[in-house]
């Protein structure tokens, strides 16, 4: 997978994670983004070696909820 494709996949999953947090926890956009971008889940999502980017946004969200 090329870098641009990888970055796009990570961005799409990240956007969905932010939306899930806003909906489930009634967070503002900025608060949800802050939680996602500061999480270990986001760090793992950006690491190709973990393979987390290959999972669905819903799977990754469950991982994030456990972390939070």
Based on the structure, what is the number of domains in the chain?
1
Confidence of residue 66 (pLDDT cuts 50, 70, 90): very high
Q: What does the alpha-carbon distance between residue 15 and residue 37 come to, in Å, rounded to a whole number? A: 11
Residue 13 domain-assigned (yes or no): no
Structure tokens at 37: 């971008």
Residue 41 domain-assigned (yes or no): yes
Residue range of the domain that includes 48:
28-68
Residue 7 domain-assigned (yes or no): no
Single pTM value for the model: 0.94
Residue 1 domain-assigned (yes or no): no
Residue 59 domain-assigned (yes or no): yes
CA proximity to 45, closest of 4, 6, 19, 2: 6
Residue 4 domain-assigned (yes or no): no
Q: What is the pLDDT of residues 1-59, one digit of tens each?
A: 899 999 999 999 999 999 999 999 999 999 999 999 999 999 999 999 999 999 999 99
State the burial class of residue 61 (Cβ atoms within 10 Å of its Cβ: 0-12, 13-18, 19+): buried
């Amino acid at each position: 997978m090329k870098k641009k494709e990888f970055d796009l996949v990570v961005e799409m999953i990240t956007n969905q994670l932010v939306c899930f947090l806003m909906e489930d926890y009634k967070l503002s956009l900025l608060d949800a983004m802050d939680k996602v971008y500061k999480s270990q889940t986001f760090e793992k999502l950006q690491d190709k070696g973990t393979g987390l980017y290959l999972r669905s946004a819903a799977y990754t969200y469950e991982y994030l909820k456990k972390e939070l």
